[in-house]
């Protein structure tokens, strides 16, 4: 069976854990050279080491994606080392959620910076390189919260709807340069207590009730979708939002 990303250079932000880690391991198995970017130096380096131990090609670049200069340096470091950038997977993000009337301005600004502005940074510097190459695939992590209303998700919904709008705009602007830009909208993927309250059975029951398949998603479910969008199999797909949600948005 042939590899699906042979010779491609891929940057994955938030690559130290969860969906980013799963994508980094999968992309490497499919022939990509993977640059793992994260603020978690220990976790990110461990992912790169795991890839190399399995015979793949990877490196770690410590990056705070909310810092524009660090994102610019991430892309520059990647191109200096590998000569190109084929896939930019803007996966990282942190959120603080509460109903809007109870949400502090600080938490609103934190969420917009951590989930939307940092995607703009990743797209901006990746697109500059991809425009020179006249090819590339940008993948942005959105959420079903950006597509349908979910209780208490106000700031998350706003930022992820923004990611979807940004994705579609980039697809239109940069398609003539051979660059594709798509988004993935995961549903309930409870890989970390930073993003969901796993100690609250009522919350878990509520989220599962929203999905016809009646199970939560896994990081590997999302990584498989990212692999498709990174590969040439999706060469005529751009401006698309791929829901990976157990059927949530079909309800």
Say whether pLDDT at 193 is over 50.
Answer: no
Higher pLDDT, 108 or 189: 108
Any idea what DSSP says for residue 30?
T
Least reliable range by pLDDT among 39-43, 77-81, 146-150: 146-150
Pairing of β 179-186 and β 9-13? unpaired
pLDDT at residue 194 in the model? 47
User: How much of the chain, in percent, has pLDDT values that exceed 90?
Assistant: 85
Least reliable range by pLDDT among 66-75, 80-89, 116-125, 196-205: 196-205
Domain ranges of the chain: 9-250
- Rounded Cα gap, residues 54 and 61, in angstroms: 19
Say whether pLDDT at 69 is over 70.
Answer: yes
Which strand (E) or helix (H) includes residue 12?
A: strand 9-13
Higher pLDDT, 55 or 191: 55
Say whether pLDDT at 211 is over 90.
Answer: no
Coil, helix or strand for 122? helix
> Mean per-residue pLDDT for 150-172?
94
Q: What angle do CA 183, 170, 237 make, to 5 degrees?
A: 55
Is domain 9-250 given the CATH code 1.10.1200.10 in the classification? no
Say whether pLDDT at 221 is over 50.
Answer: yes
State pLDDT tens for residues 83-134.
999 999 999 999 998 889 999 999 999 999 999 999 999 999 999 999 999 9
pLDDT at residue 190 in the model? 78
pLDDT at residue 83 in the model? 98
Q: How much is the pTM? A: 0.95
pLDDT at residue 200 in the model? 72
And the tokens for 245? Answer: 């949600």
pLDDT at residue 198 in the model? 60
pLDDT at residue 172 in the model? 98
pLDDT at residue 152 in the model? 79
User: Residue 130 in contact with residue 181, Cβ under 8 Å?
Assistant: no
Is residue 52 exposed (0-12), middle (13-18) or buried (19+ Cβ within 10 Å)? middle
And the tokens for 23? Answer: 């994508």
């Amino acid at each position: 069976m042939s590899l699906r990303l042979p010779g491609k250079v891929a940057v994955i932000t938030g690559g130290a854990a969860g969906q980013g880690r799963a994508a980094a391991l999968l992309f490497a198995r499919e022939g990509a050279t993977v640059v793992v970017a994260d603020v978690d130096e220990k976790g990110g380096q461990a992912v790169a080491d795991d890839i190399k131990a399995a015979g793949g090609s990877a490196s770690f670049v410590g990056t705070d994606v909310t810092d524009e200069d660090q994102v610019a340096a991430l892309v520059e470091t990647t191109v200096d080392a590998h000569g190109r950038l084929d896939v930019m997977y803007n996966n990282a993000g942190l959120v603080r959620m509460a109903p809007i009337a109870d949400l502090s301005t600080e938490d609103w600004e934190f969420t917009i910076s951590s989930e939307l502005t940092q995607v703009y940074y990743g797209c901006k510097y990746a697109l500059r390189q991809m425009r020179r190459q006249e090819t590339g695939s940008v993948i942005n992590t959105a959420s079903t919260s950006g597509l349908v209303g979910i209780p208490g998700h106000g700031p998350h919904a706003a930022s992820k709807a923004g990611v979807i709008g940004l994705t579609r705009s980039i697809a239109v602007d940069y398609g003539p340069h051979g660059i594709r830009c798509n988004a993935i909208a995961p549903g309930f993927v409870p890989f970390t207590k930073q993003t969901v309250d796993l100690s609250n059975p009522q919350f878990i029951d509520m989220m599962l009730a929203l999905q016809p398949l009646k199970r939560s998603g896994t990081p590997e479910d999302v990584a498989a979708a990212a692999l498709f969008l990174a590969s040439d199999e999706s060469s005529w797909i751009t401006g698309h939002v791929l829901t990976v949600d157990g059927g949530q948005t079909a309800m």
